[in-house]
A and B are shown apart, each in its own frame.
Chain A
Amino acid sequence: MKKIFMVSILILTAGLLFANGSNDASNAAPTVKADEPITLEYWMWDPNFAEQQQAMSDRYEAMHPNVTINLTALDPKSYWTKLAAMAATKQMPDVFNMHPNSVEDFVDQGALLDLTDMIKKDFNKEDYFWSVMDSSFGVKGRYYGVPFAWVGSVMYYNKDLFDKYGVEYPKAGWTWDDFLAKAKALTKDLDGDGKTDLWGYGVFSRYAVYDGWILQNDGDYLNREKLTFEPNNNAKEAIKFLYDLANTYKVSPHPKDYDLDKKKIKLIFQQEKAAMISEGSWNIKYMRQDMPADFDWDIAYFPRGPHWKADTMHAWADGISIPASSKHPEAAWDFIKFVLQRPADDYYPGKVPFYKKEALSDAWDDFKSKGVPPEHKTIILKYGENAKHFYTKYWKFWRGYASAEGSGLSEFIDASLNGEITLDEFYKNADREANKMLNKAYR
């Protein structure tokens, strides 16, 4: 019986392989002559960024007449599925965007080329934000991708509301106590009906909103050796502080009262229902262009908790990888190095070039060069020198992201912020569900 099933699967899989074009034979010949015509397939997940990338590819082609870059920009929702399907048939593009929340899954399957030797040979650590590289694409001491840009979580605040209620703006090195005092001063019942109309701060379970708090208290909710969910005392202190913001101090709304998700959290800030929110730095673009705020605003970093030791940014990179089955690894690597030199003004406003020369340029600091908010955008550069995140295999499931955004840890964080479960119940449930998935991932 077992044999019959296996044979049928192999036959069907072989059929699919042939249906997709059988050029596996050419995999055996990776060496490429300098003047040999080469076509590199490049896949990226951001169609909004395709124009800039195409211009970059055109420049590369002009410098390398024998190389043609075929750019495919896919919607993020379909990107990973299609990439996995291509990996299944060993037909992956020559160069493709990679994210730290998926890199381990792909490495585990042997789908990515180990770039460690090339990186060590061609990169000078001081020229790049190396902590982002280490945390995002380092797997067991080897590198499987190179960041081209990185992002991190920051605190957005409405300067007009701070001015209106006489609250001082956040300063570098501010603490949880400072934060709480400001949040309390900004929480208002504006129409006197006994209900809060303006909240000091908006928080819910999303990783980009929540996890920065843990790091600024020198906390960790992962046991990095055993790869289990095991919040240490500092992480528990941060989790309790956030719980209290919503349930004890009542300076944050219950997430369910506003259906908070990745869109609504920005909306309550835009609609001046929350004076502060935390979110990813890429939302600077949203605040400026997609739904421009008609008030003055700025960014700060998360305040320091009682057990803070060093400013640690919840940050991660968008990177590029080469498949293990690549026919043109040298050409692909050369193209990647070229892409990393992309000029700073090519990036979304909140994305930081991995290459420091561009990140530190006036073109990137557009408050200085163009006067557009946020005034303190460059704090991202400072904090990004020490980047950390919580991505592991199956992260989407145990943390709660994409199609599972309300599940995993997110489910219990929101339930606790909503006051539906106690913190003890939170730990019990989170331990059970998160570790179930992590055990599955690393068994």
Chain B
Amino acid sequence: MRYKWYLPYLFILLAMVGLFVFRLGPLFFAGGMSFTDWSMFGSPGWVGLENYIEFVKDPTFWKIVWHTISFSLIFVPIILFGSLILAVLLNQGIPGTTTFRAMYFAPVVTSTVAVGIVWRWIFGADVGMLNFLLRTLGIESPPSWLSDRQFSLVVVALVFAWKRLGYYMIIYLAGLQDIPRTMYEAARIDGAGALAIFRKITLPLITPTMFFVMIMALVDSFKNFDIVYTMTRGGPGTASTTLAYYIYQHAFELFQMGQAASLSMFLLVIVGGISVLNFVYKSRWVNTQG
């Protein structure tokens, strides 16, 4: 069969259609929508930058941006180091590894709603299990974890990290398998201890996986709508409201699609900006082999 210039394009056609219809199409649509006052009912009216200006001037918006970033600042380090520690422990070949691996992965496949409900109960102020334990230990007035603005966002971020830890642990395990055994053997022959091996061999060689985990966890941390919805509904007040949740409120409670779209664009810029920064500074800490 003779080569035709269009043949390669035919092979990627389906994928491109999917990309445009389900990814780029909605993205451009949302971008356009953000310059309108579309409320789902009538026709969209052009408002230019009004939606953006309104949010920029609104202190509540900046409070919510800060909550969104705080959520990531709690979630990402826990994922980055917590799942690495779990993966390293489970990579030792000790008995029961498979069971532990399954246990840590179970929350990943459990519905967020179920996770939210169970943890809501655990963190309950009056009859919650945690406060019951704290009272048993002599703490008379333990905090109202989910009704106190000091704690609610932190608690939701911790629960979300607990849910996602197993997923990233599996990615790290795959990364750990890639490190040549010979390096560990050579280090042991040279008399290196477990900590030195981890610091000098595992950590440097796992950095490409770490970078991948960091980018994925960062994106993950912004997709927190369902855990916020289930656990706190953004409250008390807006103490645990994040951008994803704020977008939902504008789109599906107020039906202000134009404003919701402009919020989505803010989110896109934040996620995109942080990812770009990560790639820029990648070479400073990521070791690539070969």
Contacts and interface: CB of A to CB of B under 8 A. Distances in A.
A413 to B, nearest CB: 10
Interface stretch (A52-60, A335-343, A403-411): A403-411
B173 interface: no
B44 A9 contact: yes
19 contacts: A2-B48, A5-B36, A6-B44, A9-B44, A85-B40, A109-B39, A110-B41, A110-B42, A255-B147, A256-B148, A259-B124, A259-B126, A397-B253, A397-B254, A403-B248, A407-B237, A411-B235, A412-B237, A414-B147
B223 interface: no
Interface residues of B, number: 41
Contacts of B262: none
Contacts of A396: 253-254
Contacts of B235: 405-407, 411
A412 B236 CA distance: 10
A85 B235 CA distance: 27
A289 interface: no
B36 A9 contact: yes
B41 A88 contact: yes
Nearest to B256: A440
A105 B255 CA distance: 9
Interface in A251-271: 255-260
B234 A6 contact: no
Contacts of B126: 257-259
A185 B1 CA distance: 95
Interface in B242-279: 245, 248-249, 252-255
B269 to A, nearest CB: 18
B32 interface: yes
B229 interface: yes
A403 B253 contact: yes
A6 B29 CA distance: 10
A415 interface: yes
A87 B41 contact: yes
Interface in B156-175: none
Interface string A381-405: 0000000000000101100001111
Contacts of B39: 109
B236 A411 contact: yes
Contacts, number: 108
B236 A256 contact: yes
Contacts of A404: 233-234, 249, 253
Interface in B123-139: 124-126
Interface in A219-236: none
Interface of B: 25, 28-29, 32-33, 35-36, 38-44, 46, 48, 58, 60, 124-126, 144, 146-148, 229, 232-238, 241, 245, 248-249, 252-255
Contacts of B232: 406
A172 interface: no
Q: Dominant SS at the B interface? A: loop
Given A259-B124, A397-B254, A405-B235, A9 B29 contact: yes
Nearest to A437: B254
A12 interface: yes
A5 B47 CA distance: 12
A109 B255 CA distance: 11
A13 B40 CA distance: 10
Contact of A2 (B28, B46, B60, B253): B46
A272 to B, nearest CB: 13
Given A12-B29, A411-B236, A84 B253 contact: no
A8 B34 CA distance: 13
Contacts of A2: 35, 46, 48
Contact of B236 (A80, A257, A406): A406
A6 B124 CA distance: 49
A210 B41 CA distance: 33
A407 B231 CA distance: 15
B254 A394 contact: yes
Most buried by A among B48, B232, B249: B249
A31 interface: no
Contacts of A88: 40-41
Contacts of A402: 253
Nearest to B245: A403
Nearest to B236: A406
A87 B233 contact: no
Contacts of A80: 252-253
A106 B253 CA distance: 13
Contacts of B33: 9
A109 B233 contact: no
Contacts of A369: none
Contact of A84 (B41, B245, B248): B41
A178 B40 CA distance: 50
Given A8-B28, A8-B32, A411-B238, A84 B148 contact: no
B240 to A, nearest CB: 9
Contacts of A412: 237
A406 B233 contact: yes
Nearest to B146: A259
A404 B35 CA distance: 25
Contacts of B144: 256-257, 259
A257 B125 contact: yes
B233 A403 contact: yes
A8 B29 contact: yes
Given A5-B35, A259-B146, A407 B238 contact: yes
Contacts of A259: 124-126, 144, 146-147
A84 B236 CA distance: 28
Most buried by A among B25, B35, B39, B235: B235
A-B pairs, 4 with minimum CB distance: A406-B235, A109-B41, A411-B237, A256-B147
A275 interface: no
B48 to A, nearest CB: 7
B249 A403 contact: yes
B71 to A, nearest CB: 17
Given A8-B32, A87-B40, A259-B124, A397 B249 contact: yes
Contact of B32 (A5, A257, A403): A5
Interface in A235-290: 255-260
Nearest to B124: A259
A258 B125 contact: yes
Contacts of A255: 147
Contacts of B148: 256
Contacts of A411: 235-238
